[in-house]
Structures are given as C-alpha cells and as structure tokens.
C-alpha cells in the first residue's frame, strides 16, 4: 500500500512538473501554481518571478535586501496562513521548501548542503559555476520555486483552497493554477478579487 502511494505521488509530481514546463515564460505580476491532491496529502508547487515577492530579482547585495529575503521566507514558512484549505478537512503543513538560483539558501531558511556538495562535485568545474552565476545575475530575471505539503486528517471534507498570496505580495496580479485531484484535472486563474479555488 505504501509503495503504491509513493508511486502515485511520483506520478503526480511528474505531471505537475510537465504542467509547469507547459506554462511558459517568466512574467512579472504572474505566478504559476500546481496543486495535487492524493489521499490525505495536498502538494502545492509555486513558481513566481522574485519581483512579485521582493523588490529585486538579483542576488541580495545589501543588509536591507537580505532582510527583505528573510522576511519573505518567514511568511512563506507559515503556509497555513497563505493557503487556506477547507477548515473541516483539518489540514496542517508538514513540509516547506524554498529555492531560487539568485538567493542564498540560508536566507530562505534552507540548508546550504546542496550548495556545499556542488562545490565538491568533480563534474562541475569552477569556471562553469562562475559563468553560470554571472549569467544569472546579468540576465535580470530570477524566480522563486516553492513547494508546500499539507496532511489532512479529514481529506473527504477537502473542497476548496483560498489563496492569500495577493495580500502578502502586492505586486502579484494573477496566479495561473493547474489542479489535479482523484476526480480529475482543472485549470483556473486567480486574482486579488477571485482568490478561492473550489472543486
């Protein structure tokens, strides 16, 4: 049973990844969100230009910019205040992951282990890293990738999601959503005036 669940979640993750690729280019004011509901778990994958969440898209260079990143990460690490799932379903967050090529993992509250292992990876030359970093800073665009996992005590009561991102990110105007549930798949566009998704 556990293997079947893990396999089904892997399939859902692969589907969400393919849906994310299909969404297209970096667009300020717009974020993309993929939601998968499988049994008692709700997986939310969010991709957004950094400028929707903070005032810049490059690596932070000042204390004020570093503080801005930390404040953004602190809000996202309380997903129960941002993604309001049907109250009767009794969902609670169990995992949050935040990443951006332009932001240091430690500012996002993530362990820097992956970065450290990259430094020791014999297949990645230091010149390659320097060139990649230079490209990321000079292309003017940076994205935030975030994932949130909720576990629900009463998943049968799960009927809706109210997205409060518009309150904490004033520069955000639209969230393009792809939702996958056991009963099917649907797409939606959320805005500051229409921010509840029902299924």
Q: What is the mean pLDDT of residues 29-38?
A: 98
CB 46 within 8 A of CB 33: yes
Residue written as token pair 């576990």: 151
| pLDDT at position 138 over 50 | no
Helix (H) or strand (E) holding 38: strand 30-38
Provide the pLDDT for residue 134: 35
Contact (CB, 8 A) for 20 and 36: no
The pLDDT tens digits for 38-97 are 999 999 999 999 999 999 999 999 999 999 999 999 999 999 999 999 999 999 999 999
Q: What is the pLDDT of residues 18-27, one digit of tens each?
A: 444 444 467 8
**What are the tokens at 43?**
């997986």
Does the pLDDT value for residue 12 go beyond 70? no
């Amino acid at each position: 049973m556990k293997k079947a669940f893990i396999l089904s979640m892997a399939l859902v993750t692969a589907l969400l990844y393919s849906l994310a690729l299909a969404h297209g280019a970096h667009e300020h004011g717009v974020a993309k969100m993929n939601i998968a509901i499988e049994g008692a778990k709700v997986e939310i994958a969010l991709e957004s230009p950094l400028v929707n969440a903070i005032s810049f898209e490059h690596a932070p260079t000042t204390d004020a910019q570093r503080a801005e990143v930390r404040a953004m990460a602190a809000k996202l690490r309380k997903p129960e205040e941002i993604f309001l799932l049907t109250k009767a379903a009794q969902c609670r967050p169990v995992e949050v992951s935040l990443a951006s090529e332009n932001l240091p993992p430690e500012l996002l509250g993530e362990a820097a282990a992956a970065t450290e292992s990259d430094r020791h990876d014999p297949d990645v030359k230091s010149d390659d890293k320097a060139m990649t970093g230079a490209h990321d800073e000079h292309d003017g665009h940076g994205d935030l990738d975030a994932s949130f996992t909720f576990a629900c005590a009463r998943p049968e009561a799960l009927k809706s999601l109210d997205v409060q991102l518009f309150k904490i990110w004033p520069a955000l105007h639209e969230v393009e959503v792809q939702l996958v549930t056991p009963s099917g798949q649907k797409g939606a566009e959320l805005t500051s005036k229409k921010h509840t998704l029902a299924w």
